[in-house]
Structure 1
Amino acid sequence: MLRHLTPCLLLPLLALPPAAAQSVCLPAPRLLTTMPMGGQVGTQVDVVISGDSIADASELLFSHPGITATAKVDEQGKPVANQYVVSIADDCPAGIQDARVMTPMGLSSPRAFTVGTLQEVVQSAASPAVDSAFPLELNSICNATMPARAINHYRFEAAQGQRILVDCAASGIDSKLNAVLIVADAQGRDLVVQRLGDLIDFTVPEDGEYLVKVHDMTFKGGAEYFYRLAVQQVSHDAPAARQPATRSVQAFSWPPTDLATTAATVDTEPNNAPEKAQAVTLPLDVAGSFYPAADIDSFEFDAQQGEVWWVEVASARLGFPTDPAVLIQRVEAAKGSTTDGTAAAETLVDVVELSDISSPVKVSSNGYAYDGPPYNAGSPDVLGKFEVPQDGRYRLQLTDLFGGTRSDPRNAYRLIVRKAEPDFAVVAWALHMQLRNGDRNALSKPIALRPGATMALEVVVVRRDGFDGEIELFMEDLPAGVSACGLKIAACKSRGMMLLTAAEDAPSGFSNTRFFARAEINGTPVTHDCHLASMAWPLKDSWREIPSPRLVASVPVSISAAEQAPLSIASLEQRVWEATAGQAVTIPLAHHRRREFSGSAISMKTIGAGFDNNPKFDLPLQEDHSEVVLDLAKLKTPPGEYRIAFYGSAVAKVENKDIVDIVVSEPITIRVQPAETK
């Protein structure tokens, strides 16, 4: 049976001199701010945007079709630069959507845009003192920006006994603000202080005017320190719900396929003490919370020798600041009595401890340099196997490892104990690079292609319940002139690659694509969406600021005909190559240079199932042609059809600057035939 191997050539980057190390990819459009950062369902709102490389932006686009935008025009009917009128349909769902701007360089990186149900206002000037407090009505949201070294003040009227939720959305909507939130009396004397970015649940002590103060933890500020302040009256029995927030990268692996919306069982307190353990039967699906502080939820069940169960806990992936851990023990009944005549205590025998879903691939040790990607697909949650060693009664204890320092009933969890249901979840991000001389970049990289360019998306998988099969990657609904080549995730491996190539004559355009991963599980084809992650902010110096990656809502692919790729690499003669097992195959390559480059050669590596051990080779940067030799005997490549890629790095001269850019070749297919036998 044939296996796929398509050499799709990837070229990561050469080291730059320290002085030029700050420029690590070609200019790309990035949407940085929108003001306001959201709007109410069924309304229109004027939006002002800012960003990098967004000159001559033509459209403001959203991930949901219920949000549309038209350019704002002046009195003469001419479009006003970077201003739009955004319409939110009556049936648009509340929550986070992504806004992007279309530019001559393609579609930008995303910025969170929140659709809500409360009325909204925009604060256009700072309110740094009590006497300049900005007036707010109950049940409204204020969109604002935090000035540096300042405190913004707000005032609202409330009646005795009213329950008021005051919530400041910041990091959850891509802001750099680390919000401190304070409710004060009319004279500005603090009543309640929240320094951890959480909401304030406030019961009004008497009729009158109250103040809300907002500032950054270290009093930073500027256009990137925006926020949405909500002041809402709720009933006394209503949950203290936060404003919507973007999803972290780790959330991609939840939920399992076909999981019920509501758990079949709920955690019943008190169940901390051994004698109070909650009796359950397997399989188990229970919802609970890590509350109060130092909560231990215990569940007891009977199990038979040889049974294999899979245990999964979701809490951090639900967006909570928790770190679940599971301990399963066998409960041995007490025998006899003690010397004083009291009953002997039961004996507990540890069977398995489970904590943390490890990242499928080694992640960056410092959040930006490529000793691993600056994205972490792992999680503090739990996913592991429990093999029953003998018949008997077992006790499962679920804790939050740092739960002694927090006491919040909203810190929910979902605990599942199931028979094996092999499955997988995948996430992708733009390939990052390693620069030897001071790489400090953590950049958002929109899929904005230049004609002749190939962009690489790194794809990693979290495997569930023992699934170890290979996974194919593919895309649909690509724009005209763009093709996709998936380098599969091999059996028992965690990493693959998706390569997107724009033809040299591809026209400008974009489409919202569909990105899938497909595998065969127990003889049945299984297809899942591949999630996409991106940096919330393009950081040029991550030694000074921690990167903040997140999942994005859609996978748009755009192409700009404004300029072509600086360098393209393709097979010189053909796209499919025949080879014989145990021999070497030589592939001639053509280099299409469109800019001046630094250095004489690119050190190339090989990727693709079974070909990662191919030795590095030099690709002459100043030549039009080169060759790569694959020794199938040394690689022990069996017969089949394969997709592979070569990657290195190149330093192009762009506007008198050295710009390091990843270059990826067009795909090549190699068919390896069996060797002749005598």
Structure 2
Amino acid sequence: MAAMFCTLPTPSLRTAFQQARRTATALLVLLAVPAVCPAQSVGLPAPRLLTTMPMGGQAGTQVNVTITGDHLEDVSTLLFSDSRLSAAPRLDADGKPLPMQFVVTIATDCPAGIYEARVQCRLGLSTSRIFSVGNLPEIVQKAGNTSVETAMELPLNAVCNAVMTVRSADHYSFEGKRGQRVFVDVASRGIDSKLEAVVIIADAMGRDLVVERRSGALDFQVPEDGRYIVKVHELTFQGGPAFYYRLALRELPVDAIATRQAGSRRVSAASWPPVGLPAEAALTETEPNNDGAQAQQVTLPCDLAGSFATAADVDVFEFEATAGDVWWVEVGSQRLGLPTDPAVLVQHVTGTGESESATDVAELNDIASPVKVSSNGYAYDGPPFDAGSSDVLGKIEIKTTGRHRLQLTDLFGGTRNDPRCIYRLVIRKGTPDFALAAWGLHMELRNGDRNALSKPLALRGGATMALEVVAIRRDGFDGDIELGMEGLPEGVSARGLKIPAGKSRGLMLLTARADAPISRSSATFVGKAVINGTEVTRPCHLASYAWPITDSWSEIPSPRLLGDIVVSVTGQDLAPATIASAGTACFEVVAGQKLTVPLTLTRRSDFQGASVSLKPQGAGMESVPPLKVVFAEEKAEAVIDTATLKTPPGDYTLAFLGGAVTKFRLNPEAVPIAELARTKAEQDLQTIDGELKKATEAAAAANAEQKPDAEKSATELAEKKKGAAAALAAANEQLKKVTAAAQPKDIADILVTEPISIRVTPAESK
């Protein structure tokens, strides 16, 4: 019998080489469900915006954008995370909206950068897709530029929006002048594309001059006047709509810093920067500082900016420290979006020259994930959300007063010469704090359907959605973290299951009333904790997949942080079931006694199996017996024995969740509407056909004077008949489509009860 699991976070995508370094045991939360077949779908249908073409535009212009996606029925609006971008439906010659097409207006004062784009449709607000805004003129790729002869000419200082040609290289040409500095920058992964770009600059004959297979960017100094070719291809020569890119071709001054196009942040970046860190470091690394004899002298505390500029670069710093001092060392580099893996070695040093002696004090490397990651670093057991990082965060305890040496290296920089691989080194006294990241709770099937599906916060009426929240604790902070969300749409509430002291995981539960209207809003998601007697509030960053992947053993998922948090309600689709506490908003029980919580089941769909067992979630409540829900009944009971749990007085929130397989029907209301449309199309065709027969007969019987007008009328009706026949064919196709979609399908998903509030009061003293 197959079983279903709900996975905790697994590693974020860096590179295959980085992933191969990681091995850990997967932590799975069992969701008991009946056996499922290999054709089992996972996750109820959700709206997902997949592509926009083009993927961006120049500030102060209008852009015609075409979109594609999954479950984007009845699209009404294209929305952006900034009001300086707006969209209106694109109209045809008759003034009718063109399907999936919009005119996007970018305000002149819209800053260059990336923004979240979403569409409003029948199922609510879709997942987001990055839309880029720049200051350079924008063009769109011309098809067929796959050879030197067909290379598309590009002007310098422009951006080309393109889609990678399958099993080929896209070719572009530009005119260069001797000594000119040309920076070629391909944005792909950072704008949600699946493309791993290889960039080549060749001469006019197509002979390769320089090649870059890792970063997608080339800094090129033109050797001679003439025509040059830029080739772009996918690392494994894949292509198609999901492999899009923005090619920027810029001329730069010789001494200018080459900056890349803006891109999204990895999940690991949720913990950077530390609160209060200045935008600019107080110190700058000074080369040469590659060994003890050339060590750069610093005074603690220190905040320093540097670079792993040369291959096998070792940056050495020395400072004086006193026995008993405790310092925290943090390095930010990989969390800046760079392919780096910083490592720190701290030593106590005595003597000089040949009499010098060094004793290791601390060796610091990766920031561990807050929760256990997958058992396989390449093909995941489940969602690869990993808030850990290859950056450094750890403490050094000074045992002996005197001179100390810190060596900072990039474990991936042995053969790379790239001054863009920068870092920020911070050495500080302990400043306890925390950072938060969250994502839609995911599940996987043990039968091999290891899905990685983006989950928009688009709620069906009567549904409760669980977000998994993890804390990255800094500088020894170990207290409770309360979770909260505000600014929700009408009819939606949020309750956080706190992250308890010493732990790193909690849940946020979003619940939509069954009668919640169609609505959407930007929400604020935070965590609160008391640190050193003061309450602090920190934002929670939401993460999602760049692309939905049905089987992450065959394709590596790519998660990222979202730029905003938007919650919506469909107002049209209802959850297959709602399980809610009955009778009171908060249940009270005396410490040491049992509490029975009555629950009601509102079932709107059939389920596979007679019942389901849901496991408890909530700080201090994980040992509560599972909740058994019988689908044929309308009631259930949760029993909480505070004596067995040894629950101290206080307020608690818990929920029960587990996997269930529902016989889901997608938009069955569309079937009768499509039937009416087909009936009308049939009637229209019959009416026009009758009129055509009469007109044809009239034309045949008309005299010479009447005949031209009669034949013209018959011809016009014949054209109308063709249009009516096409409309009938379209109506039949639509009816076939919605009828197939409305057929019951087995879909496995997470069933979550509404949150339950419990107050444990003190027992009377004897």
Counterpart residue number, 1:652? 662
Shift in Å, 1:593: 0.5
Counterpart residue number, 1:86? 104
Q: Deviations over 1:463-512 (max 9, x none)?
A: 11111111111111111110111111111110111111000110001011
1:403 aligns with 2:410: no
Counterpart residue number, 2:753? 665
Counterpart residue number, 1:675? 763
**SS of 2:42 mapped into structure 1:** coil
Counterpart residue number, 1:19? 38
Counterpart residue number, 2:246? 228
CA contact (8 A) 1:11 1:662 kept: no
- Looking at structure 2, the residues matched to 190 and 351 of structure 1 have their Cα atoms a distance apart, in angstroms, of 49
- Looking at structure 2, the residues matched to 462 and 54 of structure 1 have their Cα atoms a distance apart, in angstroms, of 36
- Looking at structure 2, the residues matched to 268 and 332 of structure 1 have their Cα atoms a distance apart, in angstroms, of 23
Shift in Å, 1:268: 0.9
Residue 49 (structure 2) aligned to one of 28, 31, 46: 31
Residue 517 (structure 2) aligned to one of 484, 507, 520: 507
1:218 aligns with 2:306: no
Unaligned runs of 5+ in 1: 1-9, 335-342
**SS of 1:188 mapped into structure 2:** coil
Shift in Å, 1:303: 0.8
Residue 191 (structure 1) aligned to one of 199, 209, 216: 209
Shift in Å, 1:147: 2.0
Change (3 A) 1:561 1:16: farther
Residue 352 (structure 1) aligned to one of 348, 357, 362: 362
**SS of 1:275 mapped into structure 2:** helix
Change (3 A) 1:11 1:50: farther
Counterpart residue number, 2:461? 451
CA contact (8 A) 1:364 1:375 kept: no
**SS of 1:149 mapped into structure 2:** coil
Shift in Å, 1:369: 9.4
Q: Deviations over 1:200-247 (max 9, x none)?
A: 111112222111111112111111010111111111111122111110
Shift in Å, 1:74: 0.8
Residue 584 (structure 1) aligned to one of 549, 569, 594: 594
- Looking at structure 2, the residues matched to 233 and 588 of structure 1 have their Cα atoms a distance apart, in angstroms, of 69
Counterpart residue number, 2:736? none
CA contact (8 A) 1:16 1:437 kept: no
Aligned residues between the structures = 660
Counterpart residue number, 1:74? 92
- Looking at structure 1, the residues matched to 516 and 179 of structure 2 have their Cα atoms a distance apart, in angstroms, of 64
- Looking at structure 2, the residues matched to 272 and 555 of structure 1 have their Cα atoms a distance apart, in angstroms, of 44
**SS of 1:250 mapped into structure 2:** helix
Residue 128 (structure 2) aligned to one of 94, 98, 110: 110
Structure 1 segments of 4+ aligned residues over 4 angstroms from their partners: 10-13, 366-373
Relative contact order higher in (CA < 8 Å, ≥ 6 apart): 1
Shift in Å, 1:663: 2.0
CA contact (8 A) 1:361 1:372 kept: no
Unaligned runs of 5+ in 2: 1-28, 665-742
- Looking at structure 2, the residues matched to 153 and 546 of structure 1 have their Cα atoms a distance apart, in angstroms, of 28
Q: Deviations over 1:59-87 (max 9, x none)?
A: 11111111111110111111111000001
Change (3 A) 1:35 1:631: same
Counterpart residue number, 2:324? 306
- Looking at structure 1, the residues matched to 77 and 375 of structure 2 have their Cα atoms a distance apart, in angstroms, of 38
**SS of 1:560 mapped into structure 2:** strand
**SS of 2:488 mapped into structure 1:** coil
Residue 435 (structure 2) aligned to one of 418, 425, 436: 425
2:38 partner letter: A
Q: What percentage of aligned pairs have identical amino acids?
A: 59
Correspondence list, 1:551-570, <5 A:
551-570=561-580
Larger Rg: 2
Change (3 A) 1:398 1:430: same
**SS of 2:319 mapped into structure 1:** strand
CA contact (8 A) 2:525 2:539 kept: yes
CA contact (8 A) 1:316 1:323 kept: yes
1:350 partner letter: D
Residue 55 (structure 1) aligned to one of 64, 73, 76: 73
TM-score normalised by L of structure 1: 0.95
Change (3 A) 1:372 1:605: farther
Of 175-184 and 450-459, the range deviating more from structure 2: 175-184
1:612 aligns with 2:617: no
CA contact (8 A) 2:383 2:452 kept: no
Counterpart residue number, 2:650? 640
Q: Deviations over 1:484-542 (max 9, x none)?
A: 11111111110111111000110001011111111111121211111000000000121
TM-align CA RMSD: 1.6
Correspondence list, 1:75-154, <5 A:
75-154=93-172
Residue 226 (structure 2) aligned to one of 166, 183, 208: 208
1:139 partner letter: N
Q: Deviations over 1:90-140 (max 9, x none)?
A: 111111111111101000011111111111001142312222111211100
1:375 aligns with 2:385: yes
2:327 partner letter: W
Q: Deviations over 1:632-665 (max 9, x none)?
A: 1221111111111111111111232110121222
Correspondence list, 1:589-608, <5 A:
589-608=599-618
CA contact (8 A) 2:482 2:498 kept: yes
- Looking at structure 1, the residues matched to 632 and 287 of structure 2 have their Cα atoms a distance apart, in angstroms, of 72
TM-score normalised by L of structure 2: 0.84
**SS of 1:34 mapped into structure 2:** strand
CA contact (8 A) 1:475 1:514 kept: yes
- Looking at structure 1, the residues matched to 185 and 287 of structure 2 have their Cα atoms a distance apart, in angstroms, of 29
Q: Deviations over 1:378-414 (max 9, x none)?
A: 0000111111112111111111122213221110000
